[in-house]
Amino acid sequence: MIYKHEFRAMGCQMLAALDNPSPRSQPRLAQVPEWFEAWEQCLSRFRSDSELSLLNQSAGIPVPVSQTLWDVLQVALEAEERSGGLVTPTVLHALVQAGYDRSFETLSQAQIGLADYEVAPLASMALIKLDPSSHSIRLPLDVGLDLGGVAKGWAAQRAMHRLRAYGPALVDAGGDIAISGLQADGHPWPVSIANPFDPDADLGLLMLGKCGVATSGRDYRRWRQNGAWQHHIIDPRSGKPAQTDVVSATVIAPTVMEAEVAAKVSLIIGSQAGLSWLSDDPSLAGMLLLENGEQLCTPGFERYLWSQA
Amino acid sequence: MNRKPQSPKRGKLDLAAAKWLIIALSLSAIMLFWNLFSRQAYPDAISAAPLITETPSQPAPVLMLDLPPIPTLIPASIETLNLDPLPSPTPSSVNIPQPAVQAPAKIFLGGSKPQAKKSAPAPVTKTRSSK
Q: Where are the domains of chain A?
A: 2-304
Angstrom distance (rounded) from CA A213 to CA A153: 9
- What is the rounded radius of gyration, in angstroms, for the C-alpha atoms of chain B? 39
Interface residue B118 vs chain A (CB under 8 A)? yes
- pLDDT tens digits, B39-92: 776 655 555 544 444 454 555 555 555 666 665 665 555 555 555 555 555 555
The Cα angle at residue A209 between residues A18 and A85, in degrees rounded to 5: 105
DSSP run (H or E) holding A213? strand A211-217
Nearest Cβ partner of B126 from A149, A194, A218? A194
- pLDDT tens digits, A235-256: 888 877 888 999 999 999 999 9
Residue A223 forms beta bridges with which residues? A230
Pick the residue with more confidence: A95 or A45?
Answer: A45
- pLDDT tens digits, A169-194: 999 999 999 999 999 999 999 999 99
Strands of A204-208's sheet, edge to edge?
Answer: A204-208, A189-193, B125-127
Which among A252, A246, A236, A244 is positioned nearest to A302, based on CA atoms? A252
Interface residue B122 vs chain A (CB under 8 A)? yes
% of chain A surpassing 70 pLDDT: 87
What CATH architecture applies to the domain A2-304? Answer: Roll (3.10)
User: Which residue from A minimizes the CA distance to B125?
Assistant: A191
Measured CA distances, B50 to A175, B41, B55 (Å): 91, 16, 13
Which among B73, B98, B128, B90 is positioned nearest to A218, based on CA atoms? B128
- Shortest Cα–Cα distance, B107 to chain A (Å): 24
- For testing the chain B interface, which of A3, A6, A13, A44 should be mutated: the one with the most B CBs within 10 Å? A13
Cβ pair B127:A215 closer than 8 A: yes
Mean pLDDT of all residues in A67-79: 94
Phi, psi of A19 (to 5 degrees): -95, 90
Angstrom distance (rounded) from CA A255 to CA A209: 11
Mean pLDDT of all residues in A108-118: 52
Within 10 angstroms of residue A257's Cβ, the number of other Cβ atoms is 26
Cβ pair B126:A221 closer than 8 A: no
**DSSP letters spanning A235-271:** ETTTTEE---SEEEEEEEESSHHHHHHHHHHHHHH-H
Cβ atoms of residues B72 and B100 within 8 Å: no
Q: What is the mean pLDDT of chain A?
A: 88
**pTM of this prediction exceeds 0.90:** no
